Amino acid sequence: MSYDKCVRCGSCLQFCPMFDATGEEQFSPRGKAYLLQVMDQIEDDEELAKEFRRLLFECSLCGRCEETCSSGVDLLRVWHEQRAKAIETHPEEFAYLEPLKDALANVKNIYGLAAEDRAIYWLDELEDEIPGLADRVYEKGKTTENIIFLGCLMSFRGSQIPVLRSLFQTLEKLEIDYLVMGAEENCCGHPLYLMGNEKGAQELREHNKKVITAAEAKRVISCCPGCLIQLREHHNLEGVEALHHTQFFDRLFEKTKKYDQKEKFSYHDPCELHRILEIKTEPRSLIRKMGIEFKEMDLSCCGGGGLLRMTDPNLSDKIIQLRVAREGVKDTTVITACPSCREQLLGQDLKTKDIVELLSETLDGGAD
Amino acid sequence: MKIRDVVIGANASMYYKLNFKNIKGVYYPKTEQDVLAAIAHAKQNGFTVTPKGGGSGLSGACTGGNDQRVMISTLQMKEILTVSKDQGYIDVQPGITPDKINEFIAPMGLKFFVAPSSRDVATVAGILSTDGGGNDTWINGTMRDNTIRVKMVLYDGRLLTVDSKGVRRNDLELEEQLNKIGMTIHDVASSHGTLGFITELRLLIRPTVKEALMGGLAEFPECNVLGQALHEMIRKNIKINYGEVITEAHVDVREDLRPPLHVVEFPVELESEMREIIDFRRLDSKELARMKDVRVKLPKRNPKVGIQVALFEGYGFYDESLIKLQDSIDSVNTLLIEHGMTPFAKYGHGPSKWYTGDNSATYGLILHSREIKPEGKRGQEMFDTVLAIVEKCNELKVTPKPEHKWPFSDEVKRKKLEEIRTVIGRSFNPFLLSPECNDILGSMV
């Protein structure tokens, strides 16, 4: 349903991380929907219209507003459409996004690094520890049951290496038939999708689809919920199941060894994983199978989604800082299952572990 | 003009098309000092002041009309200041919601007993300003019954404390003047921000009593039978903890419910007494929770085609109009249809309680209403329908709930507010009491 069905009841205010961090109504979903409802009165004021377009990008697209909305307004769709319209009609106001768009157009990753380097950094780091890892990188002609889609963050950022190490060690230990897409992987298109640039995103997806099809994979597995949204919902993969790594591993185990728990854990459930992909049970199931005791954190955003880290890094920081202060997680290790959430947590000097890190440790040394 | 000056107009009423150019400042104070500074800015520039809470009300009072005005939101004044378990009160800032209060005091075994369906977003000062209630108002009273005292800032910066006995402040002359005209918490209730800015409230909290409760669902062939049952419950003074009525609901939003119906929760020892009045099916806790959830969400749900609109906050059916509930509703619906509106849903609290302008309590059924907005209907035409409903309510002896929500249509309330404003000034939300109020509201639909 469109924004005109918003009855402006205000129930979304209490859940919106933007409103929580700023305290002002223009950042809230109701405020933005209201602006659309009265746009005919204000659109002639160029400064107001410009401010509104900026506001559209001060949102982490966590989807909590849509989940809360009893009026059934498809708020996420509204924000996507309005973002697309804003960039299309006033590209000059979003010049800061051009380098990202250029990088995606030219080298197919968000960092502007050479496309062939996708499987260089982590391979350098890990191939001594995991013999044969280089052979796991996809090349034309290789086929596999399971193809691993790492995504840009996990392919290029050093902070993600521990997760990758655990992922590969676990796959090896379980003798899974897998390949990593490596240099043949394009960005999944999620950043462009978040800008409302469907055409650009589609070009990236088409290449990925060809590779996945050529590899004859039955499953494509990703640790990144953003990538998984694209793979599952937008790549039109035929006969290929797109899975989050927690889903894949949870299916493999009826039960596991017990994790040797010596620390307190809390669990931050990534918004895109539980709210948009509706993958809620498998991550928790896997944690519980390892016998890990943990505290559930609020089902709220870390501030790392919706391109917010690019469009308003201060707001993004404020959101995670507020949560850290409120939820008392400093003395815990925060479990999560998303590379973007991991970056946000590490940015606050929190200890964090992906679920696959726990699984890898459990398989290595856990108690039966 | 900044975008924050526009967005402050966001509210749940149909009065949302504001003339934004007349909003001369928007403030989100955190402390009383911040409030004083905001009001001082208004006074220096000759602007009026409109307080705004959660914006979940349907009266349009929080818009401030069309005055050149400063808007002051309470949304950042949401602290809990003191809790006295022994003396049974909690001191809070005005922008906190009932849900947040209860989240805080529930572990202490305490509860704040005011539960409007918008309790997740409605602020306590906003609820007092409309004298809101909820599904348990019948036994726990409206907001005024649960407010011990308030602290307010006036337009000239003076501070007042108002309770059920009167007014206190250091300025003895002002105190004497206001006490002479009998200003009490009753006058702050339903004043719609026309007196001052509430900076603090002392609210009644009580221990949650563990009692065995029973849930039930009663369905009725038509609403006269339902009305008579409610009338009987009131006559017998049966202490129902929760009573919600749905008299009609569009097929798009009613799920599997078959209105007219009454959802109730009451102490188990009252079962036989209740069965003498209504034939109900027992609900287990899961079923009851679902019913409560549907009821809370009904006001927000839209039809598949078209948009719902809240023309009118609610109808207070009592005595004869309650006994003839179906006839009264039919009469209102006929009027709505004549005006091109499609009745969409009617639901509300019953038995319930409300106050009229002379501060006397009335007991009956508060029924909220939603209509499907007709295509191409002008705002003024929609507002004309509202005025026609008020007239119809007077004819049917139904309290048009806005009569206590809208001071301008309750002459007793209006007169008292005018009397107080003669003493303290007329710069808070003056449009509500101005002769142009109807024109202004009509222009905002």
With contacts defined as CB-CB under 8 Å, which chain A residues touch B123? none
Peptide bond connecting A17 to the previous residue in cis, omega within 30 degrees of 0: no
Report the distance separating Cα B288 and Cα B76, nearest Å: 34
- B201 and B239 in a single domain? The answer is no
Residue B274 has what pLDDT?
Answer: 98
List all residues of chain B from 13 to 32 with a beta carbon under 8 Å from chain A: 16-18, 20, 28
Is A8–B97 a contact, with Cβ atoms under 8 angstroms apart?
no
The fold for domain A98-251 equals Rossmann fold (3.40.50)
- H/E stretch holding A356: helix A355-365
DSSP string covering B41-104, please?
A: HHHHHT-EEEEE-SS--SS-GGG-TTSSEEEEE-TT---EEEEETTTTEEEE-TT--HHHHHHH
Report the distance separating Cα A46 and Cα B242, nearest Å: 51
Where in chain A do CATH 3.40.50.1860 domains reside?
98-251
Mutate to test the interface with A, among B1, B2, B3 (most CBs of A within 10 A): B3
- B235 and B384 in a single domain? The answer is yes
Residue B375 has what pLDDT?
Answer: 86
Is B12–A69 a contact, with Cβ atoms under 8 angstroms apart?
no
Taking only the tens place, the pLDDT of each residue in B198-240 is 999 999 999 998 899 999 999 999 999 999 999 999 999 999 9
- B87 and B200 in a single domain? The answer is yes
Is A9–B4 a contact, with Cβ atoms under 8 angstroms apart?
no
What does the DSSP 8-state code read for residue B324? T
Q: Could you tell me if residue B412 is inside a domain?
A: no
Taking only the tens place, the pLDDT of each residue in B301-315 is 999 988 899 998 889
- B105 and B228 in a single domain? The answer is no
Report in angstroms the alpha-carbon separations of B28 from A51, B7, B101: 19, 13, 20
Q: Which of A7, A31, A38 sits opposite B12 (nearest CB)?
A: A7
Report the distance separating Cα A269 and Cα A294, nearest Å: 12
Is A25–B10 a contact, with Cβ atoms under 8 angstroms apart?
yes
Q: Could you tell me if residue B434 is inside a domain?
A: no
User: Could you tell me whether strands A265-267 and A333-336 are parallel, antiparallel, or unpaired per DSSP bridges?
Assistant: parallel
**Residue A101 and residue A192 in contact, taking contact as beta carbons nearer than 8 Å:** yes
Taking only the tens place, the pLDDT of each residue in B143-181 is 999 999 999 999 999 999 999 999 998 789 999 999 999
- B324 and B189 in a single domain? The answer is no
Residue B403 has what pLDDT?
Answer: 54
Report the distance separating Cα B181 and Cα A347, nearest Å: 61
Residue B407 has what pLDDT?
Answer: 66
**B179 lies in which domain range?**
80-208
The token pair at A363 is: 């398989």
Is B54–A42 a contact, with Cβ atoms under 8 angstroms apart?
no
The token pair at B308 is: 């719902």
Place of tokens 């990534």: A270
The token pair at A222 is: 């990703």
* CB contact B97 to A (< 8 Å): yes
Per-residue pLDDT band for B108 (boundaries 50, 70, 90) equals: very high
Number of Cβ within 10 Å of residue A285's Cβ equals 15
Per-residue pLDDT band for B376 (boundaries 50, 70, 90) equals: confident
Q: Which residues of B142-180 are buried (b: 16+ CB within 10 A; e: fewer)?
A: bbbbbbbbbbbbbbeeebbebeeebbbbeeeebbebbee
Residue B400 has what pLDDT?
Answer: 85
Q: Could you tell me if residue B439 is inside a domain?
A: no
Minimal C-alpha gap between A13 and chain B (Å): 8
* CB contact A43 to B (< 8 Å): no
User: Could you tell me whether strands B213-219 and B280-283 are parallel, antiparallel, or unpaired per DSSP bridges?
Assistant: antiparallel
**Residue B380 and residue B439 in contact, taking contact as beta carbons nearer than 8 Å:** no
* CB contact A91 to B (< 8 Å): no
Minimal C-alpha gap between B268 and chain A (Å): 33
| CA end-to-end distance (rounded Å), chain B | 22
Report the distance separating Cα B428 and Cα B42, nearest Å: 10
Is A45–B1 a contact, with Cβ atoms under 8 angstroms apart?
yes
- B326 and B389 in a single domain? The answer is yes
Name residue A367's beta-bridge partners. Answer: A258
Is A25–B307 a contact, with Cβ atoms under 8 angstroms apart?
no
- B43 and B174 in a single domain? The answer is no
* CB contact B299 to A (< 8 Å): yes
Residue B312 has what pLDDT?
Answer: 83
Does the structure show a pLDDT above 70 at B408? Answer: no
Mutate to test the interface with B, among A26, A32, A54, A56 (most CBs of B within 10 A): A26
List all residues of chain A from 202 to 231 with a beta carbon under 8 Å from chain B: none
Taking only the tens place, the pLDDT of each residue in B292-302 is 999 989 988 99
With contacts defined as CB-CB under 8 Å, which chain B residues touch A31? 7, 10
Measured in whole angstroms, how far is the alpha carbon of residue A166 from the centre of its chain?
A: 19
> Given B190, B208, B226, which residue is the final one in a domain?
B208
Query: Among residues A37, A240, A29, A284, which one has the least CA distance to residue A149?
Result: A240
Is A14–B121 a contact, with Cβ atoms under 8 angstroms apart?
yes
Is A71–B301 a contact, with Cβ atoms under 8 angstroms apart?
yes
**Residue B205 and residue B112 in contact, taking contact as beta carbons nearer than 8 Å:** yes
Does the structure show a pLDDT above 80 at B402? Answer: no
Report in angstroms the alpha-carbon separations of B428 from B129, B188, B195, B418: 13, 13, 6, 12
Is B310–A9 a contact, with Cβ atoms under 8 angstroms apart?
no
Peptide bond connecting B351 to the previous residue in cis, omega within 30 degrees of 0: yes
Sign of the Cα torsion A349, A351, A355, A360 reads positive
- B54 and B93 in a single domain? The answer is no
Minimal C-alpha gap between B310 and chain A (Å): 9
With contacts defined as CB-CB under 8 Å, which chain A residues touch B54? 10, 13
With contacts defined as CB-CB under 8 Å, which chain B residues touch A51? 2-3
* CB contact B104 to A (< 8 Å): no
Largest CA distance in chain A: 69
Q: Which residue is closest to A38 within chain B, CA to CA? A: B17
With contacts defined as CB-CB under 8 Å, which chain A residues touch B28? 23-24
What is the ipTM metric for this complex? 0.95
Q: Could you tell me if residue B116 is inside a domain?
A: yes
Q: Could you tell me if residue B418 is inside a domain?
A: no
Sign of the Cα torsion A114, A116, A122, A123 reads negative
Q: Could you tell me if residue B441 is inside a domain?
A: no
Residue B10 has what pLDDT?
Answer: 98
Minimal C-alpha gap between A356 and chain B (Å): 35
* CB contact A24 to B (< 8 Å): yes
Burial level of B45, CB count in 10 A (0-12/13-18/19+)? exposed
Total beta-carbon pairs less than 8 A apart between chain A and chain B:
96
Q: Could you tell me if residue B433 is inside a domain?
A: no
- H/E stretch holding B198: strand B197-204
Does the structure show a pLDDT above 80 at B406? Answer: no
- B257 and B201 in a single domain? The answer is no
Taking only the tens place, the pLDDT of each residue in B270-297 is 999 999 999 999 999 999 999 999 998 9
- B162 and B254 in a single domain? The answer is no
Query: Among residues A7, A87, A231, which one has the least CA distance to residue B10?
Result: A7
Residue B370 CB partners (closer than 8 Å, separation 6+): B298, B299, B308, B309, B310, B344, B345, B346
Minimal C-alpha gap between A10 and chain B (Å): 6
Q: Could you tell me if residue B245 is inside a domain?
A: yes
What does the DSSP 8-state code read for residue A234? I
Report the distance separating Cα A339 and Cα A150, nearest Å: 10
With contacts defined as CB-CB under 8 Å, which chain B residues touch A326? none
With contacts defined as CB-CB under 8 Å, which chain B residues touch A30? 10, 55
With contacts defined as CB-CB under 8 Å, which chain B residues touch A45? 1
Average pLDDT over residues B378-400: 91
Report the distance separating Cα B321 and Cα B167, nearest Å: 37
With contacts defined as CB-CB under 8 Å, which chain B residues touch A13? 54, 75, 121
- B374 and B309 in a single domain? The answer is yes
Residue B409 has what pLDDT?
Answer: 73
With contacts defined as CB-CB under 8 Å, which chain B residues touch A24? 4, 7, 28
- B279 and B249 in a single domain? The answer is yes
Taking only the tens place, the pLDDT of each residue in B238-251 is 999 999 999 999 99
Mutate to test the interface with A, among B2, B6, B252, B373 (most CBs of A within 10 A): B6
| CA end-to-end distance (rounded Å), chain A | 51
Average pLDDT over residues B370-384: 90
The rounded average pLDDT for each run of 10 residues, N- to C-terminus, in chain A (368 residues) is 92 96 97 97 94 97 95 95 96 96 95 94 96 96 98 97 98 98 97 94 97 98 98 97 98 94 97 97 98 97 96 97 94 98 97 98 83
Is A25–B120 a contact, with Cβ atoms under 8 angstroms apart?
no
Is B7–A52 a contact, with Cβ atoms under 8 angstroms apart?
no
Q: Give chain B's domain count.
A: 3
* CB contact A348 to B (< 8 Å): no
Report the distance separating Cα A303 and Cα A17, nearest Å: 8
CATH of the domain at B307: 3.40.462.10
Does the structure show a pLDDT above 90 at B410? Answer: no
Q: Which of B3, B4, B11 sits opposite A8 (nearest CB)?
A: B11
Report the distance separating Cα B98 and Cα B204, nearest Å: 12
Q: With DSSP H G I counted as helix, E B as strand and the rest as coil, what are the percentages for chain A, rounded to 5?
A: 55, 10, 35
